[in-house]
Amino acid sequence: MPVLVAGGVATVAGVGMGLRKINNDNLPKVAVMTAAFFTASFIHVNVGPSTVHLMLNGLIGLMMGWVAFPIVLIGLLIQALLFQYGGLTTLGVNTLNVAGPAVLFGFIFHKSIYSVKFWPSTLSSFATGFLAIALTAFMVFVALILTDPVKYKVSAYTILVSHVPVMFIEGFVALLCVRFLRKVKPELLKDPLGFKG
Amino acid sequence: MAESENTASAPFQEGAGQNSSILARVDARVKIVCAVLWSLMVSWLHGTGGAWVALAAAVALIALARWPRRNLINRLLTVNIFFMFMWLMLPFSFSSPGHVVATIGPLKVTREGLDLATLLTLKGNAIVLAVLAILGTSPLYVLAAAGRRLRFPEKLVGLFLLTVRYYQVIFKEYQRLRKAMRARGFKLGLSRNSLRGVSNLVGSLLVRSFDRAERVHRAMVSRGYMGIIWVRAEFRLKGIDLAFTLVMLALFVLVGGGEWKR
């Protein structure tokens, strides 16, 4: 329970930061992009016998900065209401776990993905996708361990290990997506909705 | 490789529970408050006694909502696949302090583990069923309007309303892109080419959505958009809302009683 409360408080703060960047002018655009990220999260990739769906939180962080918090919150809320994944009580922690790493690595790497040199841009765009999922999985792990170190030990480690292939997939998808966008519509990676202005 | 994402990517299934049931006529503000309180209370439960009562109450609510059976079964399957993983892990999770009930090879099944898996499954289903019965019987835009009345941040309400609206548009766009890829023989998998295809798909989706976002914004401004997404929904508390609140209170007491007696 303290974990849920702490996650909720952090999420309220993050969403507050994000909402400050949203004004009447860019709100419709943010909504359309939220819908786009939400749709993209339905894309499944087969990994051996099972499938994983994309989260793209690295990309969301790169393009949206703090606004990742409201975007993820809305996405998870719609999921909870319509598909019954997750739930209302875990909304706070889940939003923090997905949006927190997005904001962090988006902030760290948003300049270096634009490097003209091959390796810096390749490595940093891969790292955005890879590390964002890695940190999300690690935060879920910590949340479970903090909730009850004995009961959820096996589940926590399973989540951590099972996300390793996901990290690589998200890393490659982030890398290839950034390359695609740099070729097709570079301004989409440079603060497209004017959050910093 | 199977194209599994076809089945997983169902668009909004809004409307499945929107009929003329009694629950559909309850004020959405009351519903939001009750659904949140219910979720909080049930996730708080520690004993299977209270959780069984909660599940029974949730089943009663979903019956009251006259939710279509087929749709309900599909939803419950999705939820319980998640709990199936819990059943695969939790029974083996208490190695040192548990009462061992059975051993499978090197793994020990403990009573505590089984109890916890049961408890989580009961609670999860009780929350899903009740929230479905309470919130699923109102259209999303009415829930958003009710959220606005409950003083949720205005920007968040607007974002929610427009996201729900444009998700349906973007999803069609996505289906078009997918169809084009399939026509060219694209298969999803873990190969280099496949990941490139997926990335280009995501990239195109973002580019197209961004262009659409600009057009949407211009169209809205030219129709007098000033920052508030208006929704036609009236809210007036009636007798039925009082009745619903009393029923929910009674359920809270029953569940609490079940928890107490364990």
Burial A6-18 (b: 16+ CB within 10 A, else e): ebbebbeebbebb
Residues of A in contact with B209 (CB under 8 A): 32-33, 35-36
Residue B109, classed as helix, strand or coil, is strand
Structure tokens at A27: 């709100």
Mutate to test the interface with B, among A38, A39, A95, A177 (most CBs of B within 10 A): A39
- Which structural domain, as residue segments, surrounds residue B216? 154-222
Binary contact (A176, B199; C-beta < 8 A) = yes
Pairing status of strand B100-104 against strand B107-110: antiparallel
What are the residue boundaries of the structural domains of chain A, listed by start? 2-41+50-189
B98 part of a folded domain: yes
Rounded to an integer, the average pLDDT of A38-45 is 88
Please list the residues that pair with A53 across neighbouring strands: A44
* B126 and B176 belong to one structural domain: no
Instruction: Pick the closest to residue B175 from A174, A42, A176 (CA basis).
Output: A42
Q: Which residue has the tokens 């668009």?
A: B11
Whether B164 maps to a domain, the answer reads yes
* pLDDT for B97: 64
- Domain-embedded: residue B146: no
Q: Are residues B126 and B194 in the same domain?
A: no
pLDDT at site B205: 94
CATH number of A2-41+50-189: 1.10.1760.20
Instruction: Tell whether B28 and B119 lie within a shared domain.
Output: yes
Q: Do B195 and A177 touch (CB under 8 A)?
A: no
Q: On the CB side of B102, how many CA atoms lie within 13 Å of its CA?
A: 3
Residue of B2, B8, B94 lying closest to A42 (CB–CB): B8
Q: Residue B164: pLDDT above 50? A: yes
Per-residue pLDDT tens digits for B100-149? 777 777 777 888 888 889 999 999 999 999 999 999 898 888 999 999 99
Contact residues on chain A for B188, CB-CB shorter than 8 A: 44-46
At B158, list the tokens. 């607007």
Residue B4 has pLDDT above 60, yes or no: no
Q: What burial class does residue A152 get, using C-beta atoms within 10 Å of its C-beta: 0-12 exposed, 13-18 middle, 19+ buried?
A: buried
The pLDDT of residue A44 is above 70: yes
The C-alpha atoms of residue B63 and residue B129 are separated, in whole angstroms, by 10
Give yes or no for a contact between B241 and B28, defined as CB atoms under 8 angstroms apart: no
Residue A44 near residue A52, CB atoms below 8 Å: yes
Residue-level pLDDT at B71: 86
By CA distance, what is A15's nearest residue in B?
Answer: B156
Judgement on whether residues B31 and B115 belong to the same structural domain of the protein: yes
Instruction: For residues B46 and B97, state if they share a domain.
Output: yes
Task: Calculate what percentage of chain A has a pLDDT beyond 70.
Answer: 97
Across the range B216-221, mean pLDDT stands at: 92
Q: How many domains does chain B have?
A: 2
Residue matched to tokens 């598909």? A83
Mean pLDDT of all residues in A165-185:
94
Does some domain include residue B10?
no
Q: Are residues B120 and B28 in the same domain?
A: yes
Task: Read off the pLDDT of residues B30-52 as tens digits, 9 standing for 90 and up.
Answer: 999 999 999 999 988 988 889 99
B167 and B132 share a domain?
no
Letter for the amino acid at A130? F
The verdict on residue B166 lying in a domain is: yes
Nearest to A136 by CA among A166, A175, A174, A112: A166
Token reading at A80: 């909870």
| Stronger pLDDT, A182 or B90, i.e. the higher one | A182
Report CA A4 to chain centroid distance, whole Å: 19
Is residue B262 very low, low, confident or very high in pLDDT (cuts 50, 70, 90)? low
What does the alpha-carbon distance between residue B130 and residue B65 come to, in Å, rounded to a whole number?
A: 10
Are the Cβ atoms of A31 and B169 closer than 8 angstroms? no
Over residues A76-85, the mean pLDDT reads: 81
The encoded tokens of residue B164 equal 């729900």
Say if residue B85 is in the same domain as residue B47. Answer: yes
Q: What percent of chain B has pLDDT over 90?
A: 51
Q: CA A59 to CA B141: how far, in whole Å? A: 29
Which residue in chain B has the smallest CA separation from A185? B207
**pLDDT tens string A103-115:** 999 999 988 888 8
pLDDT of residue B8: 35
Q: To the nearest 5 percent, what fractions of chain B are helix, strand and coil? A: 70, 5, 25
How crowded is residue A83: how many other Cβ atoms within 10 Å of its Cβ?
Answer: 14
Per-residue confidence (pLDDT) for residue A86, from 0 to 100: 64
Averaged pLDDT for residues A28-37: 93
Max avg pLDDT among B4-13, B63-72, B202-211: B202-211
Q: How confident is the model at residue A84 (pLDDT cuts 50, 70, 90)?
A: low
Q: For A120-174, how does the pLDDT look when each residue is reduced to its tens digit (9 = 90+)? A: 999 999 999 999 999 999 999 999 999 888 878 888 898 899 999 999 999 999 9
Residue B39 domain flag: yes
Q: Do B115 and B194 have their domain in common?
A: no
Q: Which residues of A touch B199 (CB under 8 A)?
A: 172-173, 175-177, 179-180
Which range (A84-93, B35-44, B67-76) has the least confidence? A84-93
Which pLDDT score is estimated for B74? 87
Residues B86 and B171 in one domain: no
Q: Is the Cα dihedral A133, A87, A103, A56 positive or negative? A: positive
| Helical spans, DSSP H, in B45-151 | 48-64, 69-89, 111-135, 140-149
Q: How far apart are CA B198 and CA B178, in angstroms?
A: 10
Q: Is B172 on the interface with A (CB under 8 A)?
A: no
Inform me whether the pLDDT recorded for B219 exceeds 80.
yes
Q: How far is A117 from chain B (nearest CA, A)?
A: 21
Q: At B101, which helix (H) or strand (E)?
A: strand B100-104
**Cα(A90)–Cα(A94) distance, integer angstroms:** 6
CB distance from B109 to chain A under 8 Å?
no
**CB B1, CB B189: distance < 8 Å:** yes
B10 pLDDT exceeds 60?
A: no
Is residue B33 located within the same domain as residue B73?
yes
pLDDT of A195 > 90? The answer is no
- A 10 A CB-CB count for A187 gives 9
A129 → chain B, closest CA residue: B199
